[in-house]
Structure 1
Amino acid sequence: MRIWSLHPEILDRAAIIACWRETLLAQAVLAGSTRGYRRHPQLERFRATADPLATVGAYLTGLADDADRRGYRFDRSRILTPSSPSAAIEVTDGQLAYEWAHLGRKLEARSPQDAQRWLVSEARPHPLFVVVPGDIAPWERP
């Protein structure tokens, strides 16, 4: 499961679609409606918030907003608690840099055009996140 800390507009088609699906799975886990992935480390940052379902809803809303911009049809009715990112989650600059490099490797392998766009872009966080100094997140499995 990869729930990117990066801004959705940076993600290529494959990454944003996979992220949407995986975050819907994360939402199901947080809602208690599935047995799988209950201990997945990426869920720690959502569980640490006052309202995990609203927070994951804000994350999904950010993905859907960018999907709309691209002309994709993400079914917003699947977001259990749609909301705007009112309470930001911290992400370290080390984590953002790690994900940025990880995305670059993926793009080089599957999408040379997107890899070229990636080269002239910069790492920016999803609207839900605020960047703070620090290393790779402890839940990350490098």
Structure 2
Amino acid sequence: MRIWSLHPRYLDRQGLTACWRETLLAQAVLEGATRGYTRHPQLERFRAVPDPLGAIGDHLAGIADEATARGYRFDRSKVHHRSDPALHLEVASGQLAFEWEHLLRKLSIRSPESAAQWAGIDLPDAHPLFAVVDGPVASWERAGPPAGESDPSQS
């Protein structure tokens, strides 16, 4: 499960669709509607806020907004709850940099044209749910850097 902190504009078609599906799964987990993935580390940051379902709903809404901007039709009725007022979670710059490198590696294989489009960006915009603060890769992040690469938060 990858619930991107990056703005959905950077995701290719496959990535945007996968993020939508995986975040819907996260919503089901937070609602107690599934027994799988209940201990998934990516959910820690959502469980840490007063309104986890609102936060995950706001994340889904950001993905749906990007889908709409591209002419796709994601079923917004699947977003069960939104926060009111809108929540803003923090994401550390190191986490954002880590995810950015991870996404660019994926895009270079799966969608080289998308990777080329975003080449040269050091630190991308965050998903609208997140406010960027200085800091390292998140403690809940389990995907380490590939062998031979250093942690981007340490550079």
| Length-normalised TM-score, structure 2 | 0.88
Query: Does 2:63 align with 1:60?
Result: no
Computing the radius of gyration from Cα coordinates, the structure with the larger value is 2
Counterpart for residue 35 of structure 2: 35
CA RMSD of aligned residues (A): 1.3
How far does residue 10 in structure 1 lie from its aligned partner after superposition?
1.1
How far does residue 138 in structure 1 lie from its aligned partner after superposition?
0.4
Measured in 2, the distance between the counterparts of 1:134 and 1:120 equals: 22
The range that moved more, 28-37 or 114-123, is 114-123
Counterpart for residue 12 of structure 2: 12
Aligned length: 142
SS in structure 1 at match of 2:131: strand
* Structure 2 unaligned blocks of 5 or more: 145-155
How far does residue 83 in structure 1 lie from its aligned partner after superposition?
4.7
SS in structure 2 at match of 1:81: coil
How far does residue 112 in structure 1 lie from its aligned partner after superposition?
1.0
The one-letter code of the counterpart of 2:5 is S
* Structure 1 unaligned blocks of 5 or more: none
Q: Can you list the C-alpha shifts for 1:86-108, whole angstroms capped at 9, x where unaligned? A: 22110000000000000000000
Pick closer, same or farther for the CA change 1:4–1:85 going to 2, 3 Å: farther
| Length-normalised TM-score, structure 1 | 0.96
